[in-house]
Structure 1
Amino acid sequence: MVGRTVRGLVPVLLVAGALTGCSSGSGDGTGADGRPGGGAATGSAAGRTAAKGGAVGGAGSGCELRVTFDVAKHWKAKAVAVDTDSEFAALARQGPVSMVCEIDAKPAGHIGFLRVWQGDGKGSTPRQALEGFVKADENASKITYARTTVGKLSVVEAGYTVHSKIMDESRPARAFAVATPDGPVVVHLGGLDSQEHRGMLPAYELAKRSVRLG
């Protein structure tokens, strides 16, 4: 499968801080709206829904994954090819998972990505996988976790704040994880800044509420 290389990702990652989306620390709670990180941060995105533009995960969808979920209209999925011998290979690894897919929001008018990460720990729970992902980043704080069920699938979500040294500001981030027979899957939403993150939340929520195995 032809995909975007890690080397090609580096300029975008440095600007958006996408690979610094999780951290050390271990809160456990929800905001006032029952979501990780609190409802106030959603701002104008609260109550909005994203129009479905297709699905990703199956053959011919841009990324073949262990899960399938709906993608917002105009968002474009592309597989990430990791050259393990590259000096940049570490950028595509965070905790127990490696980046395998990015779903670009630019065609929909936003600067940011939904990124999908997969791991080999077949015995790990969604919470264990997500905690490992989050704790692998030293720039995050105010981490909260929540668990929900989508169909018969257990989904664990983290909401947290990431400080970007490049942008010299803190911004919100979210990620959810599920377990599959082949190992955990983490779906992460970052964004260039807080405003972009809020604008992309409906697409993230669409992915979370539609995730299923296969």
Structure 2
Amino acid sequence: MGRRTVRGPAPVLLASVALLASLALTGCSSEPGGGTEADTKPGGGAGDKAVARGGTVGGSGSGCELPVVFDLARDWKAKAVVPEEPDSEFAALGRQGPVAMVCEIDAKPAGHIGFLRVWQGDGKSGTAREALEGFVKADENASKITYTESTAGKLSVAEAGYTVHSKIMEESRPAHAFAVTTPDGPVVVHLGGLDAQEHAGMLPAFELAKRSVRLG
């Protein structure tokens, strides 16, 4: 699986932290999405907000080549992440549990502060639920974890909702992640955010990705 070479996860994550802190001080308001085609989640809740579809990510030329393809919310921008060398002091930042970060999808062009991050494991990492549990439990700041299972087309999807305590922001915020299995190993898609409000604003993009995910 080939990927476009970009900066490794350590500089990306450290730059993200600096940007979030800066924007938290200066303030940032979400811009309206617009567009004529919207995707909504039935059943109520924050994920119900309409989100305009943009392109897709996962295929050739999409910013990240992945074992899966899913729809992106309008203006979200994907960029591949190349892992640090194993002996690098920053290598651990690009791995969480059984999966390694392979793609960042930035919400800033859409007016939000956060990312959808895609993580991938090898073919021996077990089921989607096992990979997801390993991913979430590897975050020592995660708590109040709930797991659910659903389907997207022919794929079984495991999902986790949980709370993460941020030492930088000195507060707790929600997080969501889902996982599927592929012939190339499990894939985990994670949504964080600066705070609870930003997370809620980005949740429709996460729901869009989850419902549209399919094998690449």
State TM-score, norm by structure 1: 0.84
The correspondence for 1:157, drawn from 146, 149, 159, is 159
What is the CA deviation profile of residues 115-144 of structure 1, one whole-angstrom value per residue up to 9, with x for unaligned ones?
Answer: 000001436110000000001011010000
Contact 1:49 1:203 in 2 (8 A): no
Identity %: 72
Whether 1:69 aligns to 2:85 is no
Question: What residue ranges of structure 1 are gaps of 5+ in the alignment?
Answer: 18-32
- The residue that corresponds to 1:96 in the other structure is 98
Q: Map of 1:197-212 to 2, 5 A cutoff?
A: 197-212=199-214
Q: Which residue of 2 aligns with 1:30?
A: none
Give unpaired runs (5+ residues) of structure 2: 22-40
Query: What is the aligned counterpart of 1:7 among 7, 10, 20?
Result: 10
Mapping of residues 1-214 of structure 1, within 5 Å: 1-14=4-17, 45-84=46-85, 85-122=87-124, 124-214=126-216
8 Å contact kept, 1:96–1:121: no
Q: How many residues align?
A: 192
Asked if 2 retains the 8 angstrom alpha-carbon contact of 1:122 and 1:180, the reply is no
Structure 1 residues 103 and 62, CA gap change in structure 2 (3 angstroms): same
1:162 deviates by: 0.4
Instruction: Specify the code of the residue in structure 1 equivalent to 2:10.
Output: R
Residue 27 of structure 1: aligned partner: none
The alignment's C-alpha RMSD in Å is 2.0
Q: Distance in 2 between matches of 1:178 and 1:111?
A: 26
Q: Which has the larger radius of gyration?
A: 2
Question: d(CA) in 1 for partners of 2:162 and 2:126?
Answer: 22
